[in-house]
């Protein structure tokens, strides 16, 4: 009687963790909130970063897709990341720190893949420089207010009597950075007057042809002649530019802290009349609040206000 020997080979399973998920909703979104937060807190710990480069890469992807920086120190620390990393990861960029034009310009240009940018009123990121990368071409741009593209003439004080300084040319901007822009916001009134079309053209002459959504701001109690010019310009933009789907005008008090009924202002009444001319929903007039210019829900509030006004 013969016997047959059976040899069993056992394969040891490695201790690798695979992050490729099956098709369908991601696993994290199906977990209870407390458990999901606990997992994320563990993933963000330095120990996990040291154990797994793959995990560190995934956490970086999570952290740097949407970035908000609110102080000069945060800007400085953020600039430590390599430009190639920022270009590949950052899709939404928000910087609210004023007076840091150089740092803001460097970060904007480094984040070449950004599709939404929120920054104060500074021309620095958009100045055309030869032999430098083109920078991002975002779909949405939010600015604190209008940008003055004409530099100040600091030498006129030292000129001899009777000598007139040469006219200063506006700063040349990089048109490529506005080539894909569809949503533009000028959130608060500037310290100088400009019509909406002039403020847009100052950024790029071709921008009027690509925008579909625009927000501009106006003080409720301001120069009456400028109110008329402002309203006429809004009317012309909506009638001549069929690409404009929604134009939002936020009307502000005359100064921060002033208690004024902006709905009773002349410019509010004139804008409401324009709204009736151009069709329901294309012009939305809203009350503005100083200091809330980086509100990410503005377009949603505008849609709700348009439905209410209809």
pTM of the model as a whole? 0.80
> What gap in Å lies between CA 86 and CA 164, rounded to an integer?
46
Instruction: Count the neighbouring beta carbons within 10 Å of the beta carbon of residue 49.
Output: 15
Residue with tokens 């009123």: 121
Q: What is the pLDDT of residue 29?
A: 63
Q: Cα torsion for 201, 206, 208, 214, to the nearest 10°?
A: -80
Q: What is the pLDDT of residue 204?
A: 93
Name which of 140, 106, 139 is nearest 125 in CA terms.
106
Please report, for the chain, how many H helices and E strands are present, in that order: 10, 8
Torsion sign, CA atoms 195, 180, 91, 284: positive
How would you list the strands of the sheet with 183-186, edge to edge?
66-69, 92-95, 116-119, 140-143, 183-186, 213-219, 246-252, 283-287
Q: What is the pLDDT of residue 197?
A: 96
Cβ burial, residue 135 (10 Å; 0-12/13-18/19+): buried
Q: What is the pLDDT of residue 130?
A: 75
Please give the span between the terminal C-alpha atoms of the chain, in angstroms, as a whole number: 96
Q: What is the pLDDT of residue 14?
A: 41
Each residue's pLDDT tens digit in the chain (310 positions)?
445 555 554 544 443 333 344 445 556 667 676 776 676 666 666 666 565 666 667 777 778 899 999 999 999 999 999 999 999 999 999 999 998 999 999 999 999 999 999 999 999 999 987 766 667 899 999 999 999 887 665 555 556 676 666 666 778 899 999 999 999 999 999 999 999 999 999 999 899 999 999 999 999 999 999 999 999 999 999 999 989 999 999 999 998 988 899 999 999 999 999 999 998 889 999 999 999 999 999 999 999 998 887 7
Asked if residues 183 and 140 have their Cβ atoms less than 8 Å apart, the reply is yes
Q: What is the pLDDT of residue 23?
A: 47
169: Cα separation from own chain's centroid:
27
Asked if residues 268 and 285 have their Cβ atoms less than 8 Å apart, the reply is yes
> What gap in Å lies between CA 108 and CA 290, rounded to an integer?
25
3-class SS string, 64-108:
HCEEEECCHHHHHHHCCCCHHHHHHHCCEEEECCCCCHHHHHHHH
Q: What is the pLDDT of residue 222?
A: 92
């Amino acid at each position: 009687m013969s016997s047959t020997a059976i040899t069993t080979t056992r394969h040891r399973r490695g201790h690798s963790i695979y992050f490729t998920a099956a098709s369908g909703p991601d696993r994290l979104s199906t977990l209870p909130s407390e458990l999901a937060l606990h997992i994320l807190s563990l993933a963000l710990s330095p120990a996990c970063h040291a154990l797994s480069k793959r995990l560190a890469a995934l956490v970086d992807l999570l952290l740097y897709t949407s970035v908000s920086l609110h102080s000069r120190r945060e800007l400085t620390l953020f600039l430590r990341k390599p430009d190639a990393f920022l270009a590949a990861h950052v899709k939404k960029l928000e910087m609210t720190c004023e007076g840091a034009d150089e740092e803001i310009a460097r970060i904007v240009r480094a984040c070449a893949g950004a599709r939404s940018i929120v920054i104060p009123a500074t021309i620095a990121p958009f100045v055309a420089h030869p032999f430098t990368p083109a920078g991002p071409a975002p779909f949405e741009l939010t600015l604190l207010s209008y940008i003055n593209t004409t530099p100040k003439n600091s030498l006129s004080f030292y000129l001899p009597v009777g000598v007139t300084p040469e006219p200063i040319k506006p700063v040349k901007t990089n048109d490529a950075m506005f080539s894909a822009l569809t949503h533009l916001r000028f959130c608060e009134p500037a310290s100088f007057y400009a019509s909406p079309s002039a403020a847009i053209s100052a950024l790029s002459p071709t921008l009027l042809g690509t925008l579909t959504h625009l927000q501009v701001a106006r003080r409720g109690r301001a120069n009456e002649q400028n109110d008329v010019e402002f309203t006429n310009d809004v009317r012309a933009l909506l009638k001549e530019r069929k690409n404009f789907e929604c134009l939002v005008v936020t009307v502000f008090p005359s100064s921060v802290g002033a208690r004024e009924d902006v709905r009773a202002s002349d410019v509010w009444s004139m804008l409401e009349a324009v709204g009736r001319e151009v069709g329901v929903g294309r012009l939305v007039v809203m009350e503005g609040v100083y200091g809330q210019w980086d509100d990410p829900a503005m377009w949603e509030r505008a849609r709700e206000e348009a439905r209410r006004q209809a």
